[in-house]
Amino acid sequence: MELLEGNLKLMEIQKLEGHTDRVWSLAWNPAVDGVPGMLASCSGDKTVRIWQKGPSGTWDCSAVLEDTHTRTVRSCAWSPSGKLLATASFDGTTAIWEYLGGYFGCVATLEGHDNEVKSVSWNASGSLLATCGRDKTVWIWEIQPGNEFECVSVLQGHTQDVKMVHWHPSTELLVSVSYDNTIRVWAEDGDDDDWHCVQTISEASSGHTSTVWALSFNSAGDRMVTCSDDLTLKIWDTSCHPSETSANCYRSWQHLCTLSGYHDRTIFSVHWSREGLIASGAADDAIRFFSESKDNSVDQPSYKMLLKKEKAHHMDVNSVQWNPKEPRLLASASDDGTIKIWELSEVSSFSQARDPGKSCRRKAQVFVRSAYSVVYGARTKREKKVGEIGLSYSEPSARSHIPLISSASPVLAAAFLTTRPATLEIFPSWPMRFLQTPKVWSCLFDLVFCSRIGIKINEPKGGDGLVAVPMRLQFGVYFISSRRIHSQQEAALIQAQLKTLYLILRRVPS
């Protein structure tokens, strides 16, 4: 969590347009083997859209799932394998979609609810599906071979419509939240093999005082966050205490803390990232980020707000979802009909050098992605662009990198660098056997950068001395090859050598 200590900034990467009514809900595909990364969105326009990252790095709509639901599609969820998409609709049905090579086909329709279905969730193993709706019930469906879904239980207990259902990330516990202001926990009881409500968290047990809209677990599953129309977020301890038997531990979830005074209007969505960051989206058009505060861990855990993004959308924010693979990538959906992709990044660690008098040396790495396709085939020109180079900033202790540059987010680089008057030193890590000279360039930001950042390229040991120092700092890396590249193997070899470019930013004494 080291990276979170500095100031954070939320950068808009892209705005996805296409829906013709409010967007209610989002779901990232888990992107496991063989399934490409996808974002599904569902809307009041009765459609579901699938968004995929194209070769240029931008997110494009790759499919529109329509003509199946006859009313608002309220919620969507990918199965853990990423192969099935479940969509819940106000038309009273839940549809199951499968990617059938090139298109999505509706392979099953689950009927049973009296009216609007409001939420759908897969359990961790993908063997069970839960749905809930305005008829105050929660249904549990078992997945049978051949895309057959059998209802194994209809759970009654809520006294008003059920807004959301969500499974615990590792155990077979189901949580539902409702317009009746309560949170209910459901489990399969050993004796009669049926599902029962094992816990109800109401106002009397420090619960919410108005509609509970959403919930999310942290990755370990030992904490849960809920959000409500009462303008608060509540954190719950969902771990098993040593004194409890495992069969009992879900009966006594404890209220840990209440985050109030942040959102001004109903909080519709909350999502806990793998890294422990809580994002919330609300009817005040804002997205907020919270994390556990380490300062006063003496008795009660406390959470603090890290960042508030006002006017994240023009209208209510209905859904916020972290990307499961890239922990700093967030998608949000709004009444304004758009979806936005955001990147959360740290902005201040360079300027916050511990000893301001000394130069601040940090390493940044440049990763080469898909170099081959561009290098190979170079025939006439000597200067070839080596694919898209992503520039990431990382600290030695950090587990992840903050991407600074990609074609999808050039703005990040601008913001990153303009906040730091510095000299940029570049250390290619590869020997320059092929006379490849890095020329750092970009097209958009030279004016912004030139005046503030000096540049120096250091020749690595073992190189043959051809180093170009560009007049302008531009980003992206070109390589000049002194000869043609004849084969795929050769190109692969070059690519293998282009591993890391170390960037050192040296603070300019002010």
Partner 1 sequence: MVVGLINANPVVYEKKERRPRNVPTSIDEYAEEPIDQQEIFDHVRDIKDPEHPYSLEELKVVTEDSIEVNDKQSYVRVTFTPTIEHCSMATVIGLCLRVKLMRSLPSRYKVDIRVAPGTHATEAAVNKQLNDKERVAAALENPNLVEMVDSCLEPTFG
Give least dist CB 90 to partner 1, A.
5
Sign of the torsion formed by the C-alpha atoms of 427, 429, 432 and 437: negative
Give least dist CB 76 to partner 1, A.
15
388-393 and 363-369 beta bridge pairing: antiparallel
The rounded radius of gyration (Å) of the Cα atoms in the chain is 25
Give least dist CB 232 to partner 1, A.
16
Q: Using the minimum distance from each CB to partner 1, give the nearer residue, 90 or 149.
A: 90
Give least dist CB 341 to partner 1, A.
22
Give least dist CB 269 to partner 1, A.
12
Q: Using the minimum distance from each CB to partner 1, give the nearer residue, 23 or 187.
A: 23
Q: Using the minimum distance from each CB to partner 1, give the nearer residue, 38 or 270.
A: 270
Q: Using the minimum distance from each CB to partner 1, give the nearer residue, 315 or 508.
A: 315
38-43 and 48-53 beta bridge pairing: antiparallel
Tokens of 176: 């539902």
Q: Using the minimum distance from each CB to partner 1, give the nearer residue, 154 or 315.
A: 315
Q: Using the minimum distance from each CB to partner 1, give the nearer residue, 148 or 264.
A: 264
Q: What are the φ and ψ backbone dihedral angles of 257, each rounded to 5 degrees? A: -165, 165
What does the DSSP 8-state code read for residue 205? Answer: G
Distance, in Å, from the CA atom of 317 to the CA atom of 279, rounded to the nearest integer, reads: 11
| Burial (0-12, 13-18, 19+ Cβ within 10 Å), 239 | middle
Q: Using the minimum distance from each CB to partner 1, give the nearer residue, 45 or 188.
A: 45
Q: Using the minimum distance from each CB to partner 1, give the nearer residue, 79 or 178.
A: 178
Give least dist CB 197 to partner 1, A.
23
Contact of 179 with 190, CB cutoff 8 Å: no
Give least dist CB 24 to partner 1, A.
8
Return the number of other C-beta atoms located less than 10 Å from residue 114's C-beta: 11
Q: In what order do the strands lie in the sheet with 501-507?
A: 402-405, 388-393, 363-369, 501-507, 422-428, 453-457
Q: Using the minimum distance from each CB to partner 1, give the nearer residue, 37 or 133.
A: 133
Distance, in Å, from the CA atom of 510 to the CA atom of 508, rounded to the nearest integer, reads: 6
Q: Using the minimum distance from each CB to partner 1, give the nearer residue, 232 or 291.
A: 232
Instruction: Name the residue with tokens 């942040």.
Output: 262
Give least dist CB 212 to partner 1, A.
12
Stretch (H or E) spanning 344: strand 339-346
Q: How far is CA 319 from CA 63, 227, 338, 456, in A?
A: 20, 12, 11, 45
Give least dist CB 321 to partner 1, A.
18
The strand pairing partners of 245, in sequence order, are: none
Contact of 85 with 96, CB cutoff 8 Å: yes
User: In terms of residues, how long is the chain?
Assistant: 510
The strand pairing partners of 177, in sequence order, are: 164, 183
Distance, in Å, from the CA atom of 121 to the CA atom of 164, rounded to the nearest integer, reads: 9
Which of 375, 369, 442 is CA-nearest to residue 412? 442
**Residues sharing a CB contact under 8 Å with residue 297, sequence separation 6 or more, in sequence order:** none
Q: Using the minimum distance from each CB to partner 1, give the nearer residue, 211 or 409.
A: 211
Give least dist CB 43 to partner 1, A.
11
Kindly write down the DSSP assignment for every residue of 399-415, as one continuous string.
Answer: SS-EEEE-TT-HHHHHH
Binding site for partner 1 (CB under 8 A): 22, 44, 71-72, 74, 90, 116, 118, 134, 161, 163, 179, 210-211, 229, 265-266, 283-284, 314-316, 335-336
453-457 and 422-428 beta bridge pairing: parallel
Give least dist CB 5 to partner 1, A.
34
